[in-house]
């Protein structure tokens, strides 16, 4: 049975388990029709020219976990930012774990997508925002057709959320091959602030494919600080679609740290819908072996007097493959724009590969826009100098690469996140670094 045939037969089974009279299920039917038409992206498409998904969808995935697996806090603690007090929304094999989570409905909502999709109380927000921003391609349509669970975060006006929100999806390996379709919706009202940490983590070496969709809406003068930590096992792959809409005077910062997994594809789309928006997209990638990480970004300036900054630093060893396809689109009315995009890459091995394509499409005539890409190896003179001062070659290489990634870490606002990423980088580089940033 082909993957598409399995999807169609599985959708029939899904309809026996959900309320088919809801707005959400109407969207599911439309999305299934869209998936039937569009299918899985192919390499002949420009956006996937350097990333083949064929091997991912050759496997016979379980789409619905057969049973819930007992997991205790000690099993997942190493993967949480446990040093901080946080709201937590924890999922085990796609199923919400109440005893591991801390949600709230007090001044704002941090809860489950399933509750929001099926409870009339949340209908105004769902009908106004759900599936309004995600691009309509084959994989996002697949997610919309099958998504039943995820994080629902809705924050009203004039609220500063006092502690971060951690959203983590764990895969236990209870299924030999599992595909999950998490769906997150984040709506942040005027003058409100929030920090969110997202992670997808396998607890075994079984094959896992995650097809995730997140929609983020930042209203006027809202501030969103979002972190994605990607450090999974080598049999786990992630296709992530995150779309952001910003209103006037809002700021959204999104950091992506990609260290693990077999194949990771990050689709990040930012849409500025008002003046004086600020969009910041930063990323660090360090991979080896035959790992593959693909960052595809879009910042669409539709209003004047806005700014955007993209900085991606990447290190590739062995036969690792990287892709960076970053696009800044400036509409004719979007005058007085400042847009900066930079992609810097280090190839540690002569067998590693990076395909980089920074793009500017500018239809306005009064803007300041720049983009750039560098690809190279470590500075041999700097290595020689450090070795002449008694630093071992391995440690010298690691320190140079650490310094290379340092500028991205400087923009991290949560100290515990900065410390965790510092340690992950040190581990990836294979040395002990005796200081935190």
| Average pLDDT score over the chain | 94
In a domain, 392, yes or no: yes
pLDDT of residue 434: 54
Q: Please report which confidence band the pLDDT of residue 435 belongs to, taking 50, 70 and 90 as the band edges.
A: very low
In a domain, 175, yes or no: yes
User: 118-135, pLDDT tens digit by residue?
Assistant: 899 999 999 999 999 999
Q: Would you say residue 68 has pLDDT above 90? A: no
Among 274, 295, 323, the domain boundary falls at: 274
Three-state DSSP class for 337? strand
Q: Please report which confidence band the pLDDT of residue 437 belongs to, taking 50, 70 and 90 as the band edges.
A: very low
The per-residue DSSP string of 21-76 comes to TSHHHHHHHHHHHHHHHH-S--TTSGGGTT---GGGGGS--BSS-SSPPP--HHHH
Q: How far apart are CA 299 and CA 308, in angstroms?
A: 7
User: Domain range spanning residue 398?
Assistant: 386-436
User: 347-372, pLDDT tens digit by residue?
Assistant: 999 999 999 999 999 999 999 999 99
Mean pLDDT of 312-325: 97
In a domain, 92, yes or no: yes
Locus of tokens 């006092």? 162
In a domain, 432, yes or no: yes
Question: Six-digit token pair at 132?
Answer: 């309004």
Mean pLDDT of 93-116: 95
Among 274, 306, 322, the domain boundary falls at: 274
In a domain, 22, yes or no: yes
Backbone Cα Rg of the chain: 21
Give me the sign of the Cα torsion angle 15, 18, 20, 23.
negative
Task: Centre a 10 Å sphere on the Cβ of residue 289 and count the other Cβ atoms it contains.
Answer: 11
Q: Would you say residue 100 has pLDDT above 60? A: yes
The reply to whether 80 and 200 lie within a common domain is: yes
The per-residue DSSP string of 290-327 comes to T-EEEEEEEEEE-SSS-EEEEEEEEEE-TT-EEEEEEE
CA-angle at 285, arms to 211 and 263, nearest 5°: 35
Find, among 325, 322, 56, 15, the residue nearest to 148 by Cα: 15
In a domain, 355, yes or no: no
The reply to whether 258 and 391 lie within a common domain is: no
Q: Please report which confidence band the pLDDT of residue 252 belongs to, taking 50, 70 and 90 as the band edges.
A: very high
Mean pLDDT of 325-353: 97
Q: What is the 3-state secondary structure of 87-137? A: EEEEEECCEECHHHCECECCCCEEEEHHHHHHCHHHHHHHHHHCCCCCCCC
Q: Would you say residue 292 has pLDDT above 80? A: yes
Pairing mode, if any, of strands 193-202 and 353-362?
unpaired
pLDDT of residue 407: 79
pLDDT of residue 203: 95
Three-state DSSP class for 3? helix
What are the distances in angstroms from CA 204 to CA 72, 173, 175, 208, 258?
Answer: 15, 5, 10, 9, 19
The reply to whether 226 and 86 lie within a common domain is: yes
User: Number of folded domains in the chain?
Assistant: 2
Give me the sign of the Cα torsion angle 386, 392, 397, 400.
negative
User: 401-433, pLDDT tens digit by residue?
Assistant: 988 987 799 899 999 999 999 889 888 887 665
What are the distances in angstroms from CA 336 to CA 304, 326, 340?
Answer: 6, 21, 13
Q: What is the 3-state secondary structure of 401-422? A: HHHHHHHHHCCCCCHHHHHHHH
Mean pLDDT of 82-93: 95
User: CB–CB of 180/399 below 8 Å?
Assistant: no
Among 274, 293, 317, the domain boundary falls at: 274
In a domain, 314, yes or no: no
pLDDT of residue 64: 86
Mean pLDDT of 332-356: 97
Pairing mode, if any, of strands 177-180 and 321-330?
unpaired
Q: How far apart are CA 422 and CA 416, in angstroms?
A: 10
In a domain, 373, yes or no: no
The reply to whether 245 and 104 lie within a common domain is: yes
pLDDT of residue 433: 56
Mean pLDDT of 161-170: 97
User: 6-50, pLDDT tens digit by residue?
Assistant: 898 899 888 888 888 889 999 999 999 999 999 999 999 999 999
The reply to whether 33 and 168 lie within a common domain is: yes
The reply to whether 134 and 11 lie within a common domain is: yes
Mean pLDDT of 79-106: 95
The reply to whether 395 and 268 lie within a common domain is: no
Three-state DSSP class for 395? helix
């Amino acid at each position: 049975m082909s993957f598409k045939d399995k999807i169609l037969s599985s959708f029939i089974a899904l309809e026996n388990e959900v309320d088919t009279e809801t707005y959400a299920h109407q969207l599911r039917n439309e999305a299934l029709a869209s998936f039937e038409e569009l299918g899985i992206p192919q390499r002949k498409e420009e956006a996937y020219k350097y990333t083949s998904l064929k091997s991912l969808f050759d496997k016979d995935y379980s789409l619905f976990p057969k049973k819930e697996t007992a997991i205790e806090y000690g099993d997942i603690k190493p993967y949480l930012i446990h040093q901080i007090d946080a709201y937590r929304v924890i999922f085990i094999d796609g199923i919400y774990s109440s005893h591991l989570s801390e949600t709230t409905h007090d001044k704002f909502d941090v809860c489950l997508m399933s509750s929001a999709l099926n409870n009339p109380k949340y209908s105004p927000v769902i009908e106004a925002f759900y599936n309004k921003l995600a691009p309509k391609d084959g994989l996002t349509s697949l997610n919309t057709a099958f998504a039943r669970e995820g994080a629902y975060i809705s924050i009203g006006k004039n609220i500063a959320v006092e502690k971060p929100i951690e959203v983590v999806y764990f895969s236990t390996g209870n299924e030999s091959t599992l595909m999950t379709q998490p769906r997150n919706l984040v709506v942040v009202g005027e003058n409100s602030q929030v920090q969110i940490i997202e992670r997808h983590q396998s607890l075994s070496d079984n094959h896992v494919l995650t097809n995730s969709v997140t929609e983020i809406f930042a209203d006027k003068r809202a501030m969103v600080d979002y972190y994605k930590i990607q450090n999974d096992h080598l049999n786990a792959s992630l296709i992530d679609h995150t779309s952001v809409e910003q209103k006037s005077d809002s700021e959204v910062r999104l950091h992506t740290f990609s260290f693990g997994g077999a194949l990771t594809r990050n689709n990040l789309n930012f849409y500025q819908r008002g003046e004086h928006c600020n969009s910041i997209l930063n990323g660090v990638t360090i991979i080896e072996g035959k790992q593959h990480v693909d960052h595809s970004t879009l910042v669409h300036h539709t209003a004047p007097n806005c700014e955007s900054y993209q900085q991606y630093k990447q290190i590739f060893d062995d036969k690792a493959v990287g892709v960076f396809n970053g696009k800044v689109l400036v509409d004719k009315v979007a005058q007085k724009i400042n847009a900066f995009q930079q992609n810097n890459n280090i190839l540690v091995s002569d067998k590693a590969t990076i395909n980089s394509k920074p793009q500017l499409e500018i239809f306005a005539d009064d803007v300041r826009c720049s983009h750039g890409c560098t690809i190279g190896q470590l500075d041999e003179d700097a290595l020689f100098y450090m070795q002449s001062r008694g630093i071992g070659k391995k440690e010298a290489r690691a320190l140079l690469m650490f310094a290379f990634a340092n500028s991205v870490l400087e923009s991290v606002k949560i100290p515990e996140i900065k410390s965790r990423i510092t340690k992950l980088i040190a581990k990836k580089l294979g040395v002990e670094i005796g200081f935190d940033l």
